[in-house]
Homo-oligomer: A and B are copies of this chain.
């Protein structure tokens, strides 16, 4: 991908008011910059998803060799959306979605010790192609990020910091650990303990990473970065647990994590947090900010 494409993508976001910028005339940094919007919340999140899709569509054209790029394009969009990416708009959201898409593809790969496809999963490609495509998507996501320096605001240290955040959250200490535990490879305790741990490692830490990256690139102070990271962790865990079959038995946990998430946002006094709080509290979806 050429730098010009990335630059135009970044500028696409930067006309909006930043989460961390109180003076609207100061140019906003390229991240966390669409937290304010005149649209209602639902269409706000949908519009972020549409922007991510448009960007990924441009970044992964179906070009030669088609046997490589066609599956890459398809499998990127076959993974369901994760709101973790939306927490961190612009420079790193495609990277987070791509890491998630690679993990999703490999999670559903038919291996010899899990030969039957999971119910409801359609495989468009044979396992060889799905394996290799996932392997190609991971470095591609990080390549996009490493190339994403906007010359006008060049800050390679921040990009490196965000690369460390994303590699940790998606690697052996984060998402991969959650996938291990989901396969029952360790004995962590009761079924509910396992669900909680898996949701922390998978959805939780990915959302924590998205929120922290947004805050880092958006120029947040260290305590804001950590507060948004905790918000992301709890919001992701709420989503993760709600997505499990056993969610009905874990209402107390869900309420606890919702409360913790909203409490983190309260600590960010003076920041306009209504829209991101709607990730855990849909009742706030009606709030419209101009």
Cβ of A186 and Cβ of B106 under 8 Å apart? no
- What is the CB-to-nearest-CB distance from A255 to chain B, in angstroms, rounded to a whole number? 28
A243 at the interface (CB under 8 A from B): no
Write 11 A-B pairs (CB below 8 A) sorted by A numbering. Answer: A65-B180, A65-B186, A67-B185, A102-B135, A106-B135, A111-B112, A112-B115, A128-B183, A135-B138, A139-B166, A146-B160
Q: How far is the CA of A177 from the CA of B72 in the complex (A)?
A: 12
Contacts of A90 in B (CB 8 A): none
Contacts of A167 in B (CB 8 A): 139-140, 142-143, 146
Partner pick for A172 among B69, B112, B147, CB 8 A cutoff: B69
Using known A-B contacts A149-B160, A156-B160, A172-B69, determine if residue A128 contacts B113 with beta carbons closer than 8 Å. Answer: yes
A66-106 residues with Cβ-Cβ distance < 8 A to B are 67-69, 72, 99, 102-103, 106
Q: How far is the CA of A149 from the CA of B163 in the complex (A)?
A: 13
Q: How far is the CA of A147 from the CA of B109 in the complex (A)?
A: 31
A179 at the interface (CB under 8 A from B): yes
A164 at the interface (CB under 8 A from B): yes
Contacts of A136 in B (CB 8 A): 171-172, 176
A247 at the interface (CB under 8 A from B): no
Cβ of A176 and Cβ of B135 under 8 Å apart? yes
A250 at the interface (CB under 8 A from B): no
Closest chain B residue, CB of each to CB of A138: B138
Using known A-B contacts A172-B136, A186-B67, determine if residue A131 contacts B111 with beta carbons closer than 8 Å. Answer: yes
Cβ of B106 and Cβ of A127 under 8 Å apart? no
Closest 3 CB pairs of A and B: A136-B172, A156-B156, A139-B167
Partner pick for A111 among B128, B142, B160, CB 8 A cutoff: B128
Q: How far is the CA of A171 from the CA of B138 in the complex (A)?
A: 8
Cβ of A113 and Cβ of B127 under 8 Å apart? yes
Cβ of A163 and Cβ of B180 under 8 Å apart? no
A252 at the interface (CB under 8 A from B): no
Contacts of A159 in B (CB 8 A): 156, 160
Could you mark each residue 154-188 of chain A with 1 if its beta carbon is under 8 Å from any beta carbon of chain B, else 0? 00110111011011101110001101110101100
Contacts of A171 in B (CB 8 A): 135-136, 138-140, 143
